[in-house]
Amino acid sequence: MRNLKRALSLALAAIMLIGMMVVSASAASYNDLTDKDQIVNKDAVSMLVTLGVIEGKPDGSYAPTEGVDRAQMAKMISVIMNQGVDNGALYENSPSGLTDISSHWAKGHINYCYTTGIIAGRGNGKFDPDAGVTGSEAAKMLLVAAGYDPAIEGLTGTDWEINTNALASKLGIFRNFKGSVAEPLSRDNAALLIYNALDVEMIESYTNNGYAMAYSDARTILSSMYGVYKVEGVVVGNKWAELDKTDSDSALKDGKTVLDNVVLYFLGKTVTMYIEKTTILSDSKVLGVSTKDDVNVINATAATQSTVKDYLKGTGVAVTKGTEFYVNYGYCKTEEDAHNLINDYSYAANNSDKFNLNGVDVEIIDNNNDGDAEYVLFTRETLSEVRTYSEKNETISFYAPGYDKNNELANKTVTETEDFEDVVFNDEVTTDDLILYVQYGGRTYISAPEVVTGKMTRVDRDKADELFITVDGEEY
């Protein structure tokens, strides 16, 4: 059975959650990549483009499946270890003893990495710059860049590959890597390994018994070379809405999102963000944000479930006394209040426990993976018709349900007029069009409903007492 309900809240979330949300000045470089939809490791590529470590091809593409050679890997690490600056020219004449890079474009970067011990040659004075770099080779370079001693850690000799892979796996450098570490890396996967390595704590020294000692301030390559720090937390407000027991009109100033007074995104969810720290933490520049998937359980309604409890069966997540309920991001004291608000259109008895009668979607969020839902976020769209759409006045008017002085639904409609600047149009609409709209945070979100035209042959109820119709042999 097809479900005609539109999931506006989920569509908005999808737009926000595609990869990392880069918001720095160089974000356009990533967004303008012509093949960004083909990039698998979006967070990694976004961050490295933002930091200036990698860039697109002359034709505007990123070419994620194209291979990375040893010279290109040396250049990326050289740029990182020189705080994002391409200092290749400074090391052009550094003595490395390598005989096959004298006229190579990456000579300076290779010399830097070779003389600092980050890379090793093939033997006999050869580096083999144009050979594809394998996952193991890249991991070794990144481990040494982070301060791990190749001799002490066994990253040299006949067992270098086994020891490298074991240490890199332990430290998370191969996190989310799906390929073979023995095969040459693609540009997509090389970005992933570098991205993961940026979070590895750097080693300051070794004890007499060969134990690696990290810096006391837990510095990473990212914090040490770029002044960028990783922060995790739950988003409780942004420019669209707030989860602070406020009404649905509440939102923050444009560009501000609250996570313990730090700027970022994604309401109700635990996220990982990277900030370029300033003296005042709340004014820090956000370079990227992504959801932390391993501590989030996010569910959306199915057409056949009627209550939150029904929907959560078998998920390991439960509603508790501490769960907060919101309808269109407006706070409701109890789940019953939320259901009553959702179902006020129906003139049915209050205290209904059904929430899927009015095109309602729900997100149930367990943001620390403890089995208790912190937030239940209902989004209710309203079907309406555009009365006037004025390009000249930059306004749109549409019909809305009317309420009496007790804020209860009355048997009437009113006309609501909104300025274009306060409307988010997800589809093109005009006068007399049917629309679905939802309002929160001082904005109105408008989309076009799916329209089905055909011969209706049946109106009935299914076993779950859900009303359905049959049009041209298709059930809705």
Residue range 372-398, pLDDT digits in tens: 888 888 888 888 999 999 999 999 999
DSSP reduced 3-state for 107:
helix
Of 115-129, 139-153, 221-235, 339-353, the least confident: 339-353
pLDDT at 10: 29
pLDDT at 112: 93
Please list, in sequence order, all residues whose beta carbon lies within 8 angstroms of the beta carbon of residue 66, skipping any fewer than 6 positions away: 186, 187
Most confident of the ranges 4-18, 98-112, 113-127: 98-112
- 420 DSSP 8-state letter: G
Alpha helices (H) along 146-257: 160-171, 187-197, 221-226
Q: How far is CA 215 from CA 87, 222, 298, in A?
A: 26, 14, 37
pLDDT at 275: 66
Of 218-222, 223-227, 277-281, 305-309, the least confident: 277-281
pLDDT at 408: 73
Q: What is the identity of the amino acid at 279?
A: T
pLDDT at 465: 67
Considering the chain, what is the average pLDDT of its residues?
78
The yes-or-no verdict on residue 168 having pLDDT over 60 is yes
pLDDT at 273: 66
Please list, in sequence order, all residues whose beta carbon lies within 8 angstroms of the beta carbon of residue 211, skipping any fewer than 6 positions away: none
* Segment 58-62 mean pLDDT: 88
pLDDT at 361: 78
* Segment 296-310 mean pLDDT: 54
* Segment 31-50 mean pLDDT: 87
Identify any residues that bridge with 232 across adjacent strands, giving them in sequence order: 272
Residues belonging to the chain: 476
Q: How far apart are CA 321 and CA 227, in angstroms?
A: 41
What is the percent of the chain with per-residue pLDDT over 90, rounded to a whole number? 36
Please list, in sequence order, all residues whose beta carbon lies within 8 angstroms of the beta carbon of residue 340, skipping any fewer than 6 positions away: 350, 351, 352
The yes-or-no verdict on residue 325 having pLDDT over 60 is yes
The yes-or-no verdict on residue 2 having pLDDT over 50 is no
> Please, what is the Cα angle at 125 between 124 and 130, to 5 degrees?
110
The yes-or-no verdict on residue 9 having pLDDT over 70 is no
Nearest to residue 334, comparing CAs of 376, 371, 291? 376
The yes-or-no verdict on residue 349 having pLDDT over 50 is no
pLDDT at 146: 95
Radius of gyration for the chain, computed over Cα atoms and rounded to the nearest angstrom: 28
Q: What is the pTM of this model?
A: 0.60
Q: Would you place residue 173 in the very low, low, confident or very high pLDDT band (cuts 50, 70, 90)?
A: very high
Q: How far apart are CA 20 and CA 81, in angstroms?
A: 23
Please indicate whether residue 65 or residue 307 has the higher confidence score (pLDDT). Answer: 65
The yes-or-no verdict on residue 440 having pLDDT over 80 is yes
In tens, the pLDDT along 456-466 reads: 888 887 776 66
Q: How far is CA 329 from CA 160, 249, 258, 311, 442, in A?
A: 54, 8, 15, 20, 11
